[in-house]
A and B are shown apart, each in its own frame.
Chain A
Amino acid sequence: MALNTRSIGNVGVLDLHGRFDAHMAPAVIEWYGRLPSPHVVINLTDVTFIDSSALAALAGGMKRCRQRDGDLRLCALQQPVRVIFELTRMNRAFEIFATEAEAISSFTH
């Protein structure tokens, strides 16, 4: 699992790769603590697996961002990851976009 971070305007973008699970979740949570802006997009294009710890980390991040009047939005979910979101109905809790560009522009529209 790899983690790359970028900033596009005032939106923090996190690219994740591989398995997003209990092993990786602490690094993502730690990243939230360093966020300059509460507007966040997490790009899941290259995530092949996600578990409950990862979902909890995303939910925790979303809560943190919303408490600061921002939001954490997701984009580019692959089929195995999308299935987990649907199974847990977390697809109703997050704003999910097909592409990163759409997710980023959603903060300005």
Chain B
Amino acid sequence: MRIAIVTPYPPSQGSLNEYAFHFIRFLRQKPEVREIFILSDRLPDDATYPAETASPPGLAPLHIVPCWRFGALDNALRIVRTARDLAPDIVLFNIQFASFGSSKPAAALGLLAPAMTRAAGIPAIVLLHNIMETVDLKSAGFGANPLVEWFIRAFGAITTRALLSADLLAVTIPRYVEILEHKYGAANVLLAPHGAFDEAPPPSFDPPPGPLQIMTFGKFGTYKKIEPLVDAFRLLSETRRDLELVIAGTDSPNAPGYLESVRLANVDLAGLRFTGYVAEEDVPRIFQDAGVVVFPYTSTTGSSGVLHQAGNYGRAVVLPRLGDLAELIAEEGYTGEFFTPENAQSLAEALARLLDDPARRRAMGTQNYLAACGLPMAEVVEWYILHAQNVLTVRNTRRAARRREFVKR
């Protein structure tokens, strides 16, 4: 398959350049891909892209063809003309609403490129990283004037319809698929995972030797209350001496003095430690030293950033049984032990189930690590190849049917 990809590409500073770099890094490793053309934006000051003299073995040849300029009004025309000259099997667009310009005319006219490419007879797949319907125009400074907001929304809807003229339009968030299907009646939208760039080695799923640490991380005092956790730790300490409770973080700005008041009320409790503010460079160590990470929340609106961090470091977690939190985190692939909110006994039992079972902690840490990693980019690229093959198969089947029809007549 010969593939052209319309995208900013490093050293271009255009948005999505980094995504393109990683996407193409993996795409060119696939045996189905024979050649890649990057239809990139022109660099400022007539700078040139580094040329690749020979492709490394096992990688598809890569050609960078700068053919459009951020902010220009004729980008769609230039892209289609270049695509026709190169005659790839398929064109992928790695774009968002402002990929082709910061002014509304340049941005909108550039977004006609997928429809024009398809009209020129070349299959087109769009990976659209955002949609107009979810842009907060008020935050963007357009909310003061309802007429301006209406105009921008209408303009966005027309542009979205143009983008939907591509053979396929991929988005990375399920809600985007729903919006595009319901509002536009689209039947060619699909969900594709964003993909993870990093290939960092997995963490150790076991805590270091020494006292087993129960850790909680965050800004405390409002909906993150540590009293039940301290009480649970007190209960566990009655039978075990190998534990440490680490409260990592500070007071919430809305609850000054909260942690100090808890500390003063528990000065007799051996193994209770307050770290205070945790600097960015110390975050990995704080998580890696923990045997279990606890979320002593009294309310929540969904999975938290701390859960993602705990997953990154391959940690087992203990969470409150609040609303549909269990289902929400399960949908994201995470797992945890659950306790009744603000109930020290229930929390102590949940902690004991993990503390007493290293194999379970390890399994839970592994699952959370995999959930935090997301799908590797190498796999995401496979999905696009599959979809591209399907588009080409459907086209070829239709073409063959038309030919048969013509011969019959």
Query: A residues touching B (Cβ–Cβ < 8 Å)?
Result: 19, 21-23, 49, 51-53, 55-56, 59-60, 63, 87-90, 92-93
Contacts and interface: CB of A to CB of B under 8 A. Distances in A.
A93 to B, nearest CB: 5
A89 B168 CA distance: 10
Interface of B: 168, 174, 177, 190-193, 330-331, 333, 363, 366-367, 370-371, 373-375, 379, 382-383, 386-387, 390
Contact of B191 (A21, A56, A59, A88): A88
Contacts of B383: 55-56, 59, 88, 90
Nearest to B31: A67
Contacts of B371: 22
B275 to A, nearest CB: 31
Given A49-B331, A56-B383, 19 more contacts: A21-B367, A21-B370, A23-B333, A23-B363, A52-B375, A52-B379, A53-B370, A53-B375, A53-B379, A56-B382, A59-B379, A59-B386, A63-B382, A89-B168, A89-B387, A89-B390, A90-B383, A92-B390, A93-B387
| Chain A residues touching B, majority SS | helix
A22 B174 contact: no
Contacts of A87: 174, 177, 190-191
A88 B168 CA distance: 11
A19 B371 CA distance: 13
A90 B370 CA distance: 22
A88 B370 contact: no
Contacts of B168: 89
A102 B272 CA distance: 62
A97 B162 CA distance: 35
13 contacts: A22-B333, A23-B370, A49-B330, A49-B331, A53-B379, A59-B383, A87-B177, A88-B190, A88-B192, A88-B383, A90-B383, A93-B386, A93-B390
Contacts of A51: 333
A19 B333 CA distance: 10
Nearest to A21: B333
A59 B333 contact: no
A102 B212 CA distance: 54
A23 B387 contact: no
A22 B193 CA distance: 14
B342 to A, nearest CB: 29
B330 A22 contact: no
A87 B193 CA distance: 11
A21 B192 CA distance: 16
Contacts of B375: 52-53, 56
Contacts of A60: 379, 382
Across chains A and B, which 8 residue pairs bring their CB atoms closest together, nearest first? Answer: A22-B370, A56-B379, A89-B190, A52-B193, A52-B375, A23-B367, A87-B191, A93-B386
Contacts of A92: 387, 390
Nearest to A51: B333
Nearest to B367: A23
A59 B193 CA distance: 14
